[in-house]
Amino acid sequence: MSTHTTAELRELDQRVSDGIDVRLLWRPSDDRTLVSVSDAKTGEAFTIEVAASQRALDVFHHPFAYAGNRRVGEESTGELAQVSGS
């Protein structure tokens, strides 16, 4: 369970294509980058924590290629779904 609040996440970029919403997020408290994916057609949602060896923009542009890196049991609900980009 995450102890981070939505105020700690900053939306860096967002794109929507064919019902798939992809957001690039940054958590300054631990300098981690996340990619949140939500498919309005299927209801599938997941989050990928970008590894230090990965390029965040590559993950943002090709999230399904990196889907094996998603955080087990965590979807784009809760803290990530509430990020307003402020």
For 17-58, how does the pLDDT look when each residue is reduced to its tens digit (9 = 90+)?
Answer: 999 999 999 999 999 999 999 999 999 999 999 999 999 999
Helices (H) and strands (E) in the chain, counts: 1, 4
Is the full-model pTM beyond 0.85? Answer: no
Supply 60's token pair.
């943002």
pLDDT at 85: 43
Under DSSP, the state recorded for 20 is: E
Q: Does the pLDDT at position 72 exceed 50?
A: no
Identify whether the C-beta of residue 20 lies closer than 8 Å to the C-beta of residue 37. Answer: yes
Tokens 């939505």 belong to residue: 6
Whole-number Å distance between alpha carbons of 78 and 17: 23
